[in-house]
Chains A and B, each alone.
Chain A
Amino acid sequence: MLKLFRSLKPFWLLILFTFVLVFLQSMSDLYLPTLMSDIVDKGIIEGDIPYIWKIGGFMLAVALGGAICSIAASYLSAKVAGGFGRSMRSRVFQHVQNFSLQEFDKLGTASLITRTTNDIAQTQQVLTMMLRMMISAPMMCIGGIIMAVSKDAKLSLIIVVIVPVLAGSIAIIAGMGMPLFKAMQVKLDKLNRVLRENLTGIRVIRSFNRIQHEQERFKEANYDLTSTAVRVNKIMAAMMPIMMIVMNLSTIAIVWFGGLRIRDGHMQVGDLMAFIQYAMQIMFSLIMVSMVFVMVPRASASAARINEVLSITPDIDDPLVAQSSEEGRGYLEFRDVTFSYPGAEQPALSGISFTAKPGETTAIIGGTGSGKSTLLSLIPRFYDVAEGSVLVDGVDVREMTQEELRAKIGFVPQKALLFTGTIADNIRYGKKDATDEEIREAADIAQATEFIMNMKDGFESEIAQGGNNVSGGQKQRLSIARALVRRPEIYAFDDSFSALDFKTDAKLRSALKPVTRDATVLLVAQRVSTVMDADRIIVLDEGRIAGIGTHRELMETSDVYREIVSSQLSEEEIA
């Protein structure tokens, strides 16, 4: 939490002013009872009405001054908290943009989203509260004590007794309540999870006739939550009455002991009245502070999560002196590459070596978890290899800038991802300065033009967030078009035709043929028919190359490949 607030440095002047203003405002609040006691002690007892008017006017001025200070403080604190939120968000977002996929895997996309949005909002909110309350409460408290002591030092001893009693009782109740609050949150999450599972699995639950079972699961979670909630609220029910009792009894004590002191001539009635108000102010500020303490743990959990993000340094960085590839375009080489995901026992890939030249198609086929997609992600350097090296155009990818490297690659991911914006925007994502002509051409090749033209606004049709208004196959075609518009040296298709029906698939691939003539094509596929006539087929099995060669060669040499083929094609097609 504190670490995070260090980034408040640029705002120190504003914060200082806020402090001063809040101080002035607190002082004005405290000064009013003093003035009131003057009215009582001088005005009333001496019957001096003009004096009462004069002091009254003065009080109004003080109150106005306090209000102005408070408004100004509110202005500054809003600016500070808003500015803090803005700079935090921007810092975290920029930082995350530099992450490699490795860091994304580590924290999880959903978690990173919450950290950038909710967690920062949470800390910003607490900062606002702190600027408004946390400063004013101690000031009111200290100011109140000073005023009380100045009115009557001996009577202030009462405050010395009350404050620990009040603080202690708040602490005890909060201490009993907090663990239960935490337990309640956990149980609430559980209930929500059961409910969510019920919604996502509704077909399964119904088809397996497990409605009763789910009902009981829910009931259990619901009952659990309810009983904790009842307990928490019953404990918290004591909070207000106890605080009331402490405050009220202290008033009585003040009147009683104050009365004694008045009798002995140490103090005046107006002073007593003011004293009561000071005592209230002190106790109220204590309650405010306790409220802030409730919020701080929540915010500091958020702060810790944000710090965690900021403290991660991306593994993948551009080299200090970047090398440029001089020769040719599209030469790809894997040299004895081994790669492990962090924390994994077994390498995801090991001993991978092959080369691919422009005009060649290299297909990768293999089982789930055999490392097909991983192999492909090493080319744009989404991850760094553990051993060996990946070379593009004769240069190790680690010695190039990421920008230069990725400019050479047209990547089509397994899961087609589109952004909000028009269809044209989405295709243009591949090439910033693509002309309408180029976009149309890319869409043509990707077999997307037909469905695009069927949409109301054609290329200007808006894509909803997550691309939810187009089908899976359409998404895939747009994501292919996005890569095509780049005219890259290397195409990397990660099982990118899976959602297409056979007809579209076939059309698309024959349209791709002339376009990719001078490029290096890598494609991960499930269907044998997709890979059959590639120049080179790499068969992966548990991260190792189980066979490499053309369809015909592999049919002779690789058992794994034969198995795959026989599961998909009939005799005459194999021949």
Chain B
Amino acid sequence: MSEQTRRPGPRMGGPRHPGGHPGQMMPAQKAKDFKGSLKRLVGYLRPRRGTLIVIFLTAILSTVFSIASPKILGKAITKLLEGVIAMAKGTPGAGIDFTYITQILLILIGLYLFSAAFSYIQQYLMAGVAQKVVYDMREQINAKLSRLPLKYFDSRTHGEILSRATNDVDNISTTLQQSLTQLITSIVTLVGVIVMMLSISPWMTLILIVTLPLSFIVIKAVASRSQKHFMAQQASLGQLNGHVEEMYTGHKIVKAFGRERESVEDFNKINEKLYSSGWKAQFISGIIMPMMMFIGNIGYVLVCVVGGIFVTHGRITIGDVQAFIQYARQFTQPIMQTANIANIIQSTIASAERVFELLDEEEEVPEAADAAVLNNPKGAVEFEHVRFGYKEDAMLIEDMNIDVKPGQTIAIVGPTGAGKTTLINLLMRFYELNGGAITIDGVNITHLKRGNLRSIFGMVLQDTWLFNGTIMENIAYGRAGATNEEVIEAAKAAHADHFIRTLPDGYDTVLNEEASNISQGQKQLLTIARAILADPSILILDEATSSVDTRTEVFIQKAMNDLMKGRTSFVIAHRLSTIRDADLILVMNQGSVIEKGNHEELLAKGGFYADLYNSQFSGGSIQEVV
């Protein structure tokens, strides 16, 4: 008897349904192009067609065997009853035919063993297929990400991209692993059960099928009612999480302004709302099970009664009733399961679609086949009639021409948010120009291999990026194959050696995920060391020292000056004193270059730069302030 054995197995550690709620009717996400995405997802399975066919066959066989068994078991029961009735009637020589029963039971044992073996083979093979498909998918995503232009990353949150690469792929993995074969077995079970029931008694089958619409009505009514509460629950949960996040990150402010009480009051208000929608959603979705069970029980009772009457009339045997009861119990199961799986598949296709969307994003302009390589770049940079804007209809740079000789320093100045990173994006070809050209040593950067172009530059960005690994590894990132001595050399040049050595594990100190075990200034020092190690021809310093304290900056400034010797440098900084000596100053505001020239020229011009400069350094204003 396998009444309950076909229930979905415990989803241990599975990412979906953390609580494994029965009948939790969450609204499923819908795919935009269901058919197309389904087709494409199926495409991933095609190379493993052979295995899949075996899986499907074993699934069907295992189900068929398990469906056949109640009917055969029923025969044994019938024999028993016949014997009992015969004995009750006092028929001479009456008894229970044990040889027959033994035979039946042996056949059953065989069937059960086959069924279990096939079911194991199916699950076992599916594990390989599902995980390998997902493996391929992840590899594809990762490879794709490395080919996507920066534009893609800048226009999306990390969370959004991450969720496609992890949650969505996980979702697909679980579905492949569990739901796909479940769908097959459910359908086979349903068909098989109906066939078996019809073969026992069409009338009793009819009675049972009549209870079906009842189930649908119940599910529908409950689901639509709970939807509302689930939505309300989701909304207040979001609100609650938002409030908690805000209050915890802003804890200092809450304390500083003595607003703890208000914060708790707000929290309790949201919490109350969450409670009232939460328990209702929970309750309403929780009654689906009992109601379905009740409907199932109605069917059970009817089968017992009608079956009992039929047996007394001699129309069917008692064993058939026993078998029918088992089938009846198996009957509602696959229906609910298929409904559930339909939901799951829908959300899986939606997930697959999001993954495919990512895979279909427009890639970076491919490298020219005959892309050039600059071996010993001198560092001459020229902008020729450069036109650029992040959006077609809003150009930020129109016809910009600059000519930088090797070894010159270019300062980029402007208020925060003036879009100074734009220049970097263009130099490194993170973004494509809308017109004109940028050349290095006379070669258009679009004709260079990307790897070569980027190796010409060394940069220290405002947001220090370090990864979870040792300090040694993080600095060595600047150049593949750097020796430990070279790393330490670079750290010394960046004045990071001292602080590294004061850490408990020195260069082997592992930076945690947020790199929160060292200070912002120290992080900056490490990224400087990394850039020093890379030994580039052109430097880009992006407010590199803004979080390093002034005193340390003296040292860094010295190291930088050494580093900048003989190299073309683009410096973005707030400190006008360091920029004054620049060969060329680009003044940026609201994304565009509004002035350019050297310090004297710009001062003489009396424009934006002069304004900026005077507000900082004119002696008069300093006396006034503070």
Contact = CB atoms under 8 A, between A and B. Distances in A.
A233 interface: yes
Contact of A200 (B81, B85, B465): B465
Count class of interface residues, chain B: 35 or more
A411 interface: yes
A197 B550 contact: no
B454 A226 contact: no
B117 A241 contact: yes
A541 to B, nearest CB: 8
A276 interface: yes
Contact of B120 (A45, A238, A570): A238
A296 B259 CA distance: 38
Contacts of A294: 10, 12-13
Contacts of A208: 454, 477-479, 530, 534
Count class of interface residues, chain A: 35 or more
Interface in B1-28: 1-5, 9-10, 12-13, 18-21
Interface stretch (A46-54, A331-339, A390-398, A436-444): A46-54
A174 B84 CA distance: 44
B301 A63 contact: yes
Query: Which label, helix, strand, loop or mixed, suits the secondary structure of the B interface?
Result: helix
Contacts of B312: 43-44, 47-49, 52
Contacts of B255: 100-101, 380, 382, 402, 406
Contact of A199 (B83, B124, B153, B278): B153
Interface stretch (B332-340, B367-375, B387-395, B617-625): B617-625
Q: Which interface residue of A233, A473, A505 has the most chain B CB atoms within 10 A?
A: A233
A509 interface: yes
Interface string A24-55: 01000000100110011001110111001101
A128 interface: yes
B256 A473 contact: no
A262 B318 CA distance: 15
Interface in B187-241: 240-241
Interface in B404-443: 414-417, 424, 428, 430
A500 B552 CA distance: 22
Contact of A370 (B73, B293, B465, B549): B549
B185 to A, nearest CB: 10
Interface stretch (B42-50, B135-143, B345-353, B354-362): B135-143
A509 B145 contact: no
Nearest to B96: A263
Nearest to B553: A567
B166 A82 contact: no
B443 to A, nearest CB: 18
Interface string A477-502: 00000100010000000000011111
A197 B162 CA distance: 11
B512 to A, nearest CB: 10
Given A43-B308, A86-B275, A368-B522, A472 B548 contact: no
B283 A195 contact: no
A99 B486 CA distance: 46
A534 B625 CA distance: 9
Contact of A243 (B5, B450, B534, B574): B5
A532 B272 CA distance: 53
Interface in A516-572: 521, 523, 526-534, 560, 563-564, 566-570
A116 interface: yes
A485 to B, nearest CB: 10
A60 B298 contact: yes
A238 B76 CA distance: 29
B155 interface: no
A26 B458 CA distance: 72
A367 B534 CA distance: 27
B244 A192 contact: no
Contacts of B451: 209, 211
B88 interface: yes
Q: Which interface residue of A86, A104, A287, A402 has the most chain B CB atoms within 10 A?
A: A86
A128 B623 CA distance: 68
A93 interface: yes
Interface in A327-378: 361, 363, 365-370
A199 B161 contact: yes
A369 B502 CA distance: 13
A313 interface: no
Contacts of A229: 127, 131, 134, 173
B279 A193 contact: no
A53 B305 contact: yes
Interface string A258-288: 1100110000110011001000100110010
B465 A201 contact: yes
Contact of B521 (A193, A369, A505): A369
Nearest to A566: B554
A429 B250 CA distance: 12
Contacts of B146: 211, 214-215
Given A53-B305, A193-B468, A573-B617, A66 B297 contact: yes
A165 interface: no
B595 to A, nearest CB: 15
B305 A39 contact: yes
A423 to B, nearest CB: 15
Contacts of A417: 249-250, 252-253
Contact of A413 (B81, B113, B252): B252
Interface stretch (A1-9, A144-152, A155-163, A246-254): A246-254
A219 B450 CA distance: 22
Interface in B475-511: 477-480
B5 A117 contact: no
A248 B112 contact: yes
B598 interface: no
Given A234-B124, A269-B77, A93 B2 contact: no
A94 B520 CA distance: 31
Interface stretch (B30-38, B101-109, B377-385, B563-571): B101-109
A210 B477 contact: yes
A244 B271 contact: no
B256 A207 contact: no
Contacts of A12: none
A521 B260 CA distance: 25
Interface string A499-517: 1111111110110110000
A449 interface: no
B252 A197 contact: no
B532 interface: no
Q: Which interface residue of B294, B301, B612 has the most chain A CB atoms within 10 A?
A: B301
Contacts of A569: 577
Given A97-B247, A125-B18, A367-B549, A222 B135 contact: yes
B282 A64 contact: no
Interface string A166-185: 00000000100110010011
B85 A45 contact: yes
A500 to B, nearest CB: 8
B279 A52 contact: no
Nearest to B616: A502
Given A233-B127, A262-B96, A75 B283 contact: yes
A154 interface: no
Contact of B615 (A184, A283, A503): A503
Interface in B123-175: 123-124, 126-128, 130-132, 134-135, 138-139, 142-143, 145-146, 150, 153, 158, 161-162, 165-166, 173
B597 interface: no
23 contacts: A55-B305, A63-B300, A74-B287, A74-B289, A94-B264, A109-B249, A117-B241, A208-B534, A213-B480, A226-B132, A234-B127, A255-B76, A259-B80, A368-B521, A368-B547, A402-B255, A413-B253, A417-B250, A499-B416, A501-B612, A509-B626, A512-B626, A529-B622
Given A44-B308, A420-B246, 9 more contacts: A55-B305, A56-B305, A109-B248, A181-B13, A195-B162, A204-B477, A207-B428, A219-B142, A237-B124
Please list the 4 inter-chain residue pairs (A to B) with the smallest Cβ-Cβ separation, ordered nearest first: A237-B123, A368-B521, A233-B127, A82-B279
